[in-house]
Structure 1
Amino acid sequence: MIRRNLLASVALAILALATPAFAQDIAFSSDQSYPESFTYSAKQDIFMLGSVTQGLVARLDRAGKYSPFISDDRLVSTIGLLVDDASNTLWVTNSDPGAGMRTTAATQGKLADVATYDATTGAPKAYYDLGSLSQGAHFANDIALDAAGNAYITDSFAPLIYKIDTEGKASIFAQSPLFMSGDGFNLNGIAWHADGYLLVGKYNSGELFRISTTDPTDIRPVNLPEALVGADGIRLIDGDHLLVVQNLAANRTVELTSTDGWQSATITRAVASKLSMPTAAVAAGDGTYILNARLDTLFDPKAAKVGDYLLQEF
């Protein structure tokens, strides 16, 4: 019996060493980089984060070690990030909210670019100027990929969703008055659903839209129990469950559940943020993490600037 228990203990120890441990928060520090979004590469077992102030991409391991990865003079503020392990490509949206070291009058509130890089080496692959596709203010925000590899990008300052197809052609995918209802940030987080539609959040009004990928004029508001004002990053857990990260006064992440193909949804879980201004959610291994970005301290001229952030386990 003792020998059997000993063997069982050894087997459990080996299994624990072989299984990534994601069951706790990951605190990290940087030189006031203020990451707005992040992504996770299962292939490399590494997080990648952007920077509103420095316009770089950094790597973060599970121990909380933060190290710069990509430095590109074209990048003003790296906002949305998404790694595609299948093609070994990192997608980055590049915008200018006026808080970056490369901010200029020519780009502030007008920049909506997307850059792609080799996810392993950081070597540049392609660069897209999406703002040139339409007049007015622009802010390329979040990005989603469908199963074929087409990219969809929200523009928070214009009532637009862009598409970059697998041949590298950029176009306006969807445009509607529903996407614009006031100043500041409108469309924000975006996710692709395998049944052939996008789920897109609207920051200032707290709405959620379902948009067909085969007919982009088919735009339907999802019936929610309450307006999710401050809805920033969103992340599908599976076909019926969606995480919505809320900042502004909410400072929480909610889990939405739908039983009717996202015609409607209910709130089935809500978790308060430990630090201020959560912005994005990412699934990594057997855990899901929320970025506590603390951007409120960046944009408040009276607040002390910070360099400590948190990936909060959800």
Structure 2
Amino acid sequence: MPIHSLTSHTTILLFLLLLISSPITKTIAENSHVINFYSPNLYPESLAWDPTKQHFLVGSLRHRTISSISDAGIVETLISDTSLPENVTVEGITVDSRNNRVLAVIHAVKPLPPFNALAAYDLKSGNRIFLSALPANEEEALANDVAADYNGNAYVTNSIGNYIWKVNAKGEASIFSKSPRFTEHSVDPDTLYSFIGLNGIAYVSSGDYLLVVQSNTGKLFKVDADDGTARHVLISKDLTYPDGVVLRSDGVVLVVSPQVNKLWLLKSNNGWGEGVVYDEIDLESEGYPTSVVSRGRDKMYVLYGYFMEGLLGNSEREGFRIEEIRSPKESEGENVWLYVMIGFGMVYFVYWRFQMGQLVKSMNKKIN
């Protein structure tokens, strides 16, 4: 094959590569999964993923229920516990797959009498396994989020008291960690929700520790799951009103904030002695995104439960949504591999054309 012919084919292929790269990038960015679901006055604050049944679970501000949400947006009531005090809120929830349970933090919002508890339910039947009252040292407490370790222990954050409860597999509750690290950072009392301290929590099985965010300071803490000692994790920037936290299977920590409508992706290469915010994703302001989950290795879903609207007294909403969020930086990495594969294909195509040209020349010589 003549050199100019090879150059011509290469130029055409490079042009096609540039031509298709933009649509591919656009498709990766835009083709996210959005699940719209409808349940009157549900106002869910919490979101969990059940890997066994492959559906989402949500709590409720108004109902004493935990509902399952399919990919098609079909809502089914998994748990309805009418024995709980009326008008309590189902706050943080998590799926304890190893023990076939779903754990739910129960809290009574003022002006209701104080009530803070952890409920455990059988994941298949929905039957309650235990309801554990969470002991408090002060008049006010706000049980918020929950994480579970592989031994069946649950860890619940107290946002007002700035400590962590522990509930063992039998349902026995105790105050687990009141580390001075949780109160060593100053808080401006005039800021919005200055009373919300420890909030989202995740368990890291590889090191047997917890990662906890503090909303009013933006700090991240690493807490030993054995003795409750804590240390402040140095990260590249403080987070603004962090709320929900989840650990992805690849070690990336996801943190969401409904106050500034952000999703942060954090990494650490030294077991969370320190970390870095390597991506910051803007979320929609409508919907008040309070919770994030990881589905599979790297899929991320955020809950738009309009929770603040519900707290302010609105009782008319029926529609809510769960939306897949994609990281532009991680998508760029996917595109690099795509370009590499196309490049290999281009080289192979040019080589094949060259070989075919040589074969044709050889055959022509034989015929002549």
What TM-score, normalized by structure 2, do the two folds share?
Answer: 0.71
> Is contact 1:298-1:305 (8 Å) kept?
no
**1:213, CA displacement in angstroms?**
1.7
Give the partner amino acid of 1:62. Answer: D
Across the aligned residues of Structure 1 and Structure 2, the Cα RMSD in angstroms comes to 2.1
1:288-310 Cα shifts (integer Å, max 9, x gaps): 21111222322346x78533222
Match of 2:112 among 105, 111, 115: 105
1:108-149 Cα shifts (integer Å, max 9, x gaps): xxx21011111111111101000x342321111111111222
**1:254, CA displacement in angstroms?**
0.8
Q: How many residues end up aligned between the 2 structures?
A: 281
Closer, same or farther: CA 284–268 of 1 in aligned 2, 3 Å: same
> Is contact 1:193-1:239 (8 Å) kept?
no
Q: 1:117 matched to which residue of 2?
A: 121
Closer, same or farther: CA 304–273 of 1 in aligned 2, 3 Å: farther
> Is contact 1:112-1:155 (8 Å) kept?
no
Q: 2:97 matched to which residue of 1?
A: 85
Distance in 1 separating the partners of 2:307 and 2:222: 28
1:179 alignment partner, SS class: helix
Please state if 1:255 is matched with 2:256. no
Q: 1:16 matched to which residue of 2?
A: none
Give the partner amino acid of 2:93. Answer: L
Q: 1:282 matched to which residue of 2?
A: 293
Distance in 1 separating the partners of 2:139 and 2:182: 15
1:297 alignment partner, SS class: helix
**1:34, CA displacement in angstroms?**
0.6
Distance in 1 separating the partners of 2:312 and 2:180: 31
1:10-49 correspondence runs (5 A): 24-49=33-58
Structure (1 or 2) with the greater helix fraction: 2
2:300 alignment partner, SS class: strand
Q: For structure 2, which runs of at least 5 residues remain unmatched after alignment?
A: 1-30, 326-368
Q: For structure 1, which runs of at least 5 residues remain unmatched after alignment?
A: 1-21, 99-103
> Is contact 2:41-2:315 (8 Å) kept?
no
266-275 or 43-52, which moves further after superposition? 266-275
Please state if 1:311 is matched with 2:298. no
Computing the radius of gyration over CA atoms, which structure comes out larger, 1 or 2?
A: 2
Aligned identity (percent) is 29
What TM-score, normalized by structure 1, do the two folds share?
Answer: 0.83
Give the partner amino acid of 1:260. Answer: N
**1:237, CA displacement in angstroms?**
1.0
> Is contact 2:237-2:276 (8 Å) kept?
no
Structure (1 or 2) with the greater strand fraction: 1
Match of 1:52 among 33, 47, 61: 61
1:198 alignment partner, SS class: strand
Give the partner amino acid of 1:255. Answer: L
1:195-215 Cα shifts (integer Å, max 9, x gaps): 121100001111110111223
Please state if 1:139 is matched with 2:150. no
> Is contact 1:58-1:68 (8 Å) kept?
yes
1:16-72 Cα shifts (integer Å, max 9, x gaps): xxxxxx951211121021100021211112211100122311111110011222221
Please state if 1:94 is matched with 2:106. yes
